[in-house]
Structure 1
Amino acid sequence: MGAGGRMAVPSTPMKVDSDPLKRVPCSKPPFTLSQVKKAIPPHCFERSVLRSFSYVVHDLTIAFVFYYIADTYIHQLPHPLSYLAWPVYWALQGCILTGVWVVAHECGHHAFSDYQWLDDTVGLILHSCLLVPYFSWKYSHRRHHSNTGSLDRDEVFVPKQKTAIGWYAKYLNNPLGRVITLTVTLTLGWPLYLAFNVSAKGLVYVFCIYGGPLLVVNGFLVLITLLQHTHPSLPHYHSSEWDWFRGALATVDRDYGILNKVFHNITDTHVAHHLFSTMPHYHAMEATKAIKPILGEYYQFDGTPFYKAMWREAKECLYVEPDEGDQNKGVFWYRNKI
């Protein structure tokens, strides 16, 4: 992707931050992708091998330190404390490994360096360590980016229409049902079993050192993706109405607090990522700041804490259907009345 540049573009009215649930516009934007790109400083599209590798070294160093502490000291703690220490380790290590996953994800987008072979090599190694099939994920994820917001062609958290929801949905539309649904959703990514052993220490050791953190990684990956594409304000489009640009804009940036940095800002720069997926993550914050005045109401950010947003979306976003009486039947919005 070529570099951007400065260009005078009329600003679109900004969406009021105090009302994150207000619907984003679903009409064709008054700006083009080219205009958005030209508002971004050109250096944001430059990929540095050294800078990209610095994030790999940073994350893997912290991951090794956490591993060393867990492997060396947790088993020396009295049993009540060790039982508490392991979940703490899983949470901390899982967050760091989610950052590793994000770097590998950038390799799949050819955003790590200018060399495709290097991106694929680094991505394959990092994703394999996290039990992710790099190449098959790379190609399927590109299909997601090519079809975001389409009810017919997208592959990631595509909402069902009301006529397609199961008979059991009404029994899960309550607090207990939402707990069950979220628990299943956040854990399905975990493999059914680990097919290897480590130093004859047994599966319990493998789970404590590796499996627990990986379970946290899988949970965060599902949660991050779910919340990026599921929001009461976001439209989805039937094939009669969908186009790539509006589909790419039908995403939302979220705030995960300190985890934004741990996750290399994949959480709060997702709109820019969908518009320019080959842009390195370390330029995405600057690019987001540059494009917000142009996107205006088409830019969606929700600062609701992610754990509250997860519960709200599980409650409010059960299916999609067009607005009653709306002449345009190709635009679908989230509903929760069963």
Structure 2
Amino acid sequence: MGAKSDAETFTTVEQGVYPVPDIPIKDLLSAIPTHCFERSPLKGMVYVIWDLFVIGCIWKATVTLDPFIDPAFIQLPHPYAYTALRVSLWALYTFLTGLFATGIWVIGHECGHQAFSESKAINNTVGFILHTAVGVPYHSWRVSHAKHHASTGHMTQDQVFVPSTRSELGLPPLKEGQEDLLGSRVSNLVKKELYEALGDSPIGAMYGSAIYLLGGWPAYIFWNASGQKRYPKGTNHFNPNSPIYQAHHYSQVVVSTAGIVAWVSLLGAAIHHWGFSTVLVTYLLPYLWVNHWLVLITFLQHTDPILPHYRAAEFTFPRGALATLDRNLLGDCGPIMAWLGAHATNGISETHVLHHVCSKIPHYHALCCLEKKIAGYGLPHEGRPGGWAEVYRVYKQCKFVEDEGDVVFYKNAEGLAVMRPGYADASASDSGVEVTK
């Protein structure tokens, strides 16, 4: 987005044009090889076992190395150096364990989409076990997540990562003549007003990003934070009477909540038996890493200044499915970390567009992707690598959308947007004169 001054009173930007697609879903599905739709519970379980095996190896390596951090085995320049090295060792354990445990979360998520097996009973049994083990109310989240897939990018129907509008944030109304609805031209006076109202300091952005990554998942589950704003205050994933659910979901929500109660009880029993510090380092800190990766991955898949959001008049399922991005998790840290990020999390970040086009495709077939098909329509589908720096950038750039408009893009703290919608010309004329019958 190149900005320039307009007689020192306005700032204008050269916006990119997002070609609002009119692609039938059958065209997208037909581009996917047939074998990609095959689901094998045996193959899926191999990935579960592998993730658990790797976590076990990480734990075994850590507890084996820990006793050697001692003056009897290594000489360090200062007594505190032994503590620092031990903390670093266990910090690496929590990081790696959390990364591979996210892979387990991903397979539980596939079960919720019925992508693990042809059998619904197998999907729901395996999914309930895997998701409950990482603190997720399986059926409760499965239902709301299905609604998210059905209405991705819909301003009043999507379930999560719904942009705040100008009026919802209490910002000054759009000033005609002082700012463009599409965010291409804004007076310096309006820029100052918006900046003062929203704030955009580096420290504030870093703090906000960190809080979002650490607390975003429980805040969404318990309080609908960043969720659909038309839901009443107090909406959560544990109340079977929540507006998220219909009457036939009642027992499923109860069972999911009971699973979380059992999970918390087991954690309490483990703390009683092994002590809080042991459970904290062995399980709870990796669990926080899982929550962190979940929020980071999904936030970046659905939030970027180049992605549109739709109101009802312009929304279609294919448009919503394509309003997402694939990102190489940890790709900004080099090729080795990029491979680790994709491998440990079973490619959930790298193949998200395909996942929204057809969520029943298991992750091990997801690389039979749609890049060429989507690229042919000029649609952005490959975002910048997913990592902490990218969360910071997106958090700063995506502040609000306008109350008006059927296809809207995020504006930053100065009221400027990097994209605007473009539509295919459906009319056919070679003279400029409409011919009526």
Task: Report the TM range for the smaller structure's normalisation.
Answer: 0.7 to 0.9
CA contact (8 A) 2:199 2:413 kept: no
Give the alignment partner of residue 121 of structure 2, picking from 117, 122, 136.
117
Q: Which moved more, 1:283-292 or 1:116-125?
A: 283-292
Per the alignment, residue 270 of structure 1 pairs with 352
State the partner residue of 1:18: none
Provide closer, same or farther for how the CA distance between residues 336 and 75 of structure 1 changes in structure 2, counting only shifts above 3 A.
farther
Query: What does residue range 17-56 of structure 1 map to in structure 2 within 5 Å?
Result: 22-26=16-20, 28-29=21-22, 31-56=23-48
- Residues 253 and 22 (structure 1 numbering): CA distance in 2 closer, same or farther, change over 3 Å? farther
Q: What is aligned with 2:207?
A: 180
- Tell me how far 1:329 sits from its aligned partner: 1.9
Computed over aligned residues only, the root mean square deviation of the Cα atoms, in angstroms, reads 2.4
After alignment, is 243-252 or 212-221 more displaced?
A: 243-252
The runs of 5 or more residues in structure 2 that have no matched partner are: 1-14, 70-81, 172-194, 223-262, 330-337, 415-437
1:336 pairs, out of 412, 416, 425, with 412
Paired position in structure 2 for 1:157: 161
CA contact (8 A) 1:251 1:271 kept: yes
Corresponding residue for residue 242 of structure 1: 315
Q: Does the residue aligned with 2:152 lie in a helix, a strand or coil? A: coil
Please state how far the C-alpha of 1:241 moved relative to its aligned partner: 2.1
Whole-angstrom distance in 1 between the partners of 2:196 and 2:312? 26
Q: Select which of 130, 135, 148 maps to 2:134.
A: 130
Contact 1:269 1:288 in 2 (8 A): no
Query: Greater CA radius of gyration, 1 or 2?
Result: 2
Q: Tell me if 1:214 matches 2:287.
A: yes
CA contact under 8 A between 1:172 and 1:181: conserved in structure 2?
no
Identify the range of structure 1 (239-248 vs 144-153) with the bigger mean alpha-carbon deviation.
239-248
Q: Once the two structures are superposed, what CA deviation does each residue of 1:162-195 show, in whole Å capped at 9, x if it has no partner?
A: 2212679846421111111111111113599965
Check the 8 A contact 1:103/1:112 in 2, yes or no. yes
The equivalent of 1:201 in structure 2 is: 274
CA distance in 1, matches of 2:275, 2:170: 41
Is the alpha carbon distance of 1:277 and 1:23 closer, same or farther for their aligned partners in structure 2, counting shifts above 3 Å? farther
Given residue 165 of structure 1, which amino acid in structure 2 is its aligned partner?
Answer: L
Q: Does 1:284 align with 2:357?
A: no
> SS at 2:114's partner residue?
coil
By how many angstroms is 1:76 displaced?
5.4
Contact preservation (8 Å) 2:111, 2:123: yes
**Displacement of 1:287:** 2.7
- Listed one character per residue, the Cα deviations across residues 133-182 of structure 1 (whole Å, up to 9, x for unaligned) are 11111111001001101111111111111221267984642111111111
Letter of the structure 2 residue corresponding to residue 239 of structure 1: A
What is the 5 A alignment of 1:291-302? 291-294=373-376, 296-302=377-383
Contact 2:300 2:386 in 1 (8 A): no
SS at match of 2:369: helix
3-state SS of 1:332 partner: strand
| Unaligned 5+ runs, structure 1 | 1-20, 323-327
Q: Distance in 2 between matches of 1:251 and 1:298?
A: 10
Tell me the percent identity: 35
Q: CA deviation at 1:253?
A: 0.9
Residues 82-133 of structure 1 deviation map (CA, whole Å, 9 limit, x = unaligned): 1111211111111100111111110000000111111111111111110111
**Quick one: distance in 2 between partners of 1:169 and 1:96?**
42
**Is 2:110 aligned against 1:106?**
yes
1:215–1:76 Cα change, 3 Å: farther
Identify if the C-alpha distance between structure 1 residues 54 and 146 changes in structure 2 by more than 3 Å, giving closer, same or farther. same
What TM-score comes out, normalization by structure 2 length? 0.66
Number of equivalent positions: 310
Q: Distance in 1 between matches of 2:18 and 2:346?
A: 26
Residues 44, 287 of structure 1: 8 Å contact kept? no
